[in-house]
Amino acid sequence: MSHMTQRRAAVLVAGSWGTALATVLADNGYDVHIWSRNEEQVNEINEHHTNKRFLQEAVLPHNLKATTDMEEAITGAELVLFVATSASMREVARKASPYITESMLIIHATKGFETGTLKRMTTVLAEELKTDPTRLVVLSGPSHAEEVVRRQPTTVVVAAENMEAAEQAQDALITQSFRVYTNPDAIGVEVAGAIKNIIALGAGLTDGLGFGDNAKSALITRGLSEITRLGMAMGANPLTFSGLAGVGDLIVTCTSTLSRNWRAGSMLAKGKSLDTVLAEMGMVVEGVRTTSAAHELSQTYGVVMPITEQLYKVLFEGKEPRKAAVDLMGRGRKHEMEDIAPIQ
């Protein structure tokens, strides 16, 4: 590829994670166009090189431009990175679709399932972009936007069945502070990225109730087997879950106050209603939607997911958080390995 012309990349949309990843691409010499439907935000990024609502402290690179015009954002890009919320992914992909060409590398970095259809994000993208799903790349791993944008060391994984596509994504995104590994298991990486948000809500809840570190570490460990069981039922490779997208992301999301899902869980534990929590956070908490999707998936695939089930009751059936946590810790006796082995 000739470096005589500036390589272009498009990022859709300009939330905290999209902006952080746009910065990574800009650091790698891409001319980056980030799309947002919010004109004020676009002007702020272009004039002040900040995106204060989502990343208060960050100063954005000058080769990162924002636009409300989807055609302008995508035309001429060799790489298009989707970072819309799981609820708006289909709509954003549909809007982008007329400007996407076969030669563009398509990556997404969204953790969640589509509400209603329970489809993974690569499926939603493949349908809307009318493209081969094996070429779509998913980016996941332990990565707070706030740290990535400050260029603190971060390691992620990019996964696609088509390893050539995964390697192209790796080349595009790897920098000195942003390390990128490849993995052929897109299903596993997507399932891990989505479900860990539920476990993080649970971790926030047990922390908010003052249960301590022992309880939280048990929750994370049991949570990992829950993720693995569902992932395997959906066709994932179990080894993926002990990697960055699984254990890695689970640790960062369950143990950090930067995690929105952890914060939401901790607020619920203090007796705030779900509506109040979401209004106070003012940002999408993916774990809430994912809890309802995973609850349904566990029934579809016949997989036992006790943490998901208790959180579902807290979020959508008004169960008292302390009662849910006690019920979770007090389940019947089991052999540890029973839970880890796939349920036949």
Ranges of the chain whose pLDDT falls below 50: 1-2, 343-344
Tokens coding 18: 């999209």
Spatial separation of the C-alpha atoms in residues 238 and 252, rounded to whole Å: 20
Read off the amino acid at residue 239.
L
Verify whether residue 196 is a known catalytic residue.
yes
| Tens digits of residue pLDDT in 213-240 | 999 999 999 999 999 999 999 999 999 9
Over residues 65-123, the pLDDT tens digits come to 999 999 999 999 999 999 999 999 999 999 999 999 999 999 999 999 998 999 999 99
The helix or strand, by DSSP H or E, that contains position 264, with its residue range, turns out to be helix 260-269
CA distances from 185 to 146, 157, 159, 191, 202 (A): 27, 10, 6, 10, 26
The first and second tokens of residue 248, run together, are: 């890695």
Residue 141 falls in which region: left (phi positive, over 0), alpha (psi -120 to 50) or beta: left
**In terms of DSSP bridges, do strands 79-82 and 105-108 run parallel, antiparallel, or are they unpaired?**
parallel
Catalytic residue among 196, 216, 319, 334: 196
